[in-house]
């Protein structure tokens, strides 16, 4: 649905430039993930064991800054949004399957790359598994697209749409809420 859109705007950027930008952004991304500690097995497992909340702190900070930034740029007409479709059954089933894999592997696709760069050689096995799993999905993609991915397909649904508020109003309420969650985690952590 956003595919035709995407290809026209991407023509502004030469393909080779796009690849170089991807590598540069990737270096920055991997650097930040490692410095934030989220390339480490015990930090990633720590959040799943509800013992260490570094992952949540990184994610929520990124979401808050990115949300304000990307919606501001969008209002200025400088960027396009890239909303992934909401498909209830696929989001839930795929999400749960992902979570099982997350606990077994201990890294996710982005932090796995960072873990590998950091010298966690076991991430190599995870990377191979990720490629095999992707290919298995491709084998099943036709069947899944006609079944599970059709169940509860709501298209590009956003939280503001869902509650019936303008995006700006929603963001103005949601950012303090997410900040409050971070504050509560920090307080619970330091309060003992």
Partner 1 sequence: MKVGATIPATFGLLLIACPVGAAELSADPNAYSEPAWSPYLVGSLIGLLSMMTFYFSNKPLGASTAYARVAGMIGSAIAPRHTASLKFYQDKKPRVDWEVMLVVGAIGGAFLAAWTGNELTLRWTPAMWEARFGDSVGLRLAVAFVGGVLMAFGARLAGGCTSGHGISGTMQLAVGSWIAVICFFVAGIAVAMLMFQI
Residue 173 in the binding site for partner 1 (CB under 8 A): no
Stretch 63-82 residues interacting with partner 1 (CB under 8 A): 63-70, 73, 76, 78-82
Stretch 143-162 residues interacting with partner 1 (CB under 8 A): 144-145, 148-149, 154, 156-162
Residue 14 in the binding site for partner 1 (CB under 8 A): no
Quick one: which of 4, 14, 75, 90 contacts partner 1 (CB under 8 A)? 90
Residue 37 in the binding site for partner 1 (CB under 8 A): yes
Q: CA distances (Å), 148 to each of 98, 135, 141, 155, in order? A: 16, 18, 10, 14
Beta carbons within 8 Å of 153's beta carbon, 6+ residues apart: 85, 86, 87, 88
Q: CA distances (Å), 139 to each of 17, 25, 91, 94, in order? A: 32, 31, 19, 16
Place of tokens 């919606």: 71
Burial of 94 (0-12, 13-18, 19+ CB in 10 A): middle
Residues 5, 99: Cα–Cα separation, whole Å:
32
Stretch 94-123 residues interacting with partner 1 (CB under 8 A): 94-106, 108-123
Quick one: which of 14, 75, 139, 173 contacts partner 1 (CB under 8 A)? 139
Burial of 123 (0-12, 13-18, 19+ CB in 10 A): buried
Quick one: which of 131, 168, 180, 188 contacts partner 1 (CB under 8 A)? 131
Nearer to partner 1, 47 or 188 (CB): 47
Residue 35 in the binding site for partner 1 (CB under 8 A): yes
Nearer to partner 1, 99 or 176 (CB): 99
Nearer to partner 1, 119 or 191 (CB): 119
Nearer to partner 1, 18 or 188 (CB): 18
């Amino acid at each position: 649905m956003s595919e035709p859109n995407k290809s026209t705007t991407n023509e502004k950027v030469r393909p080779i430039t796009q690849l170089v930008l991807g590598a540069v952004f990737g270096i920055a991304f991997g650097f930040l993930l490692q410095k934030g500690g989220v390339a480490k097995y015990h930090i990633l497992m720590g959040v799943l064991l509800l013992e260490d909340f570094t992952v949540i702190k990184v994610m929520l900070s990124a979401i808050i800054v990115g949300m304000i930034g990307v919606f501001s740029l969008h209002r200025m007409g400088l960027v396009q949004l890239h909303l992934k479709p909401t498909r209830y059954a696929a989001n839930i089933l795929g999400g749960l399957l992902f979570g099982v894999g997350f606990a077994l592997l201990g890294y996710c696709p982005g932090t796995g790359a960072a873990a590998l760069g950091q010298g966690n050689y076991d991430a190599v096995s995870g990377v191979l598994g990720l490629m095999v799993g992707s290919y298995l999905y491709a084998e099943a993609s036709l069947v899944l697209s006609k079944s599970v991915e059709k169940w509860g397909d709501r298209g590009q649904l956003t939280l503001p749409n869902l509650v019936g508020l303008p995006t700006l109003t929603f963001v103005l309420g949601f950012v303090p809420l997410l900040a409050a969650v971070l504050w509560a985690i920090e307080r619970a952590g330091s309060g003992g």
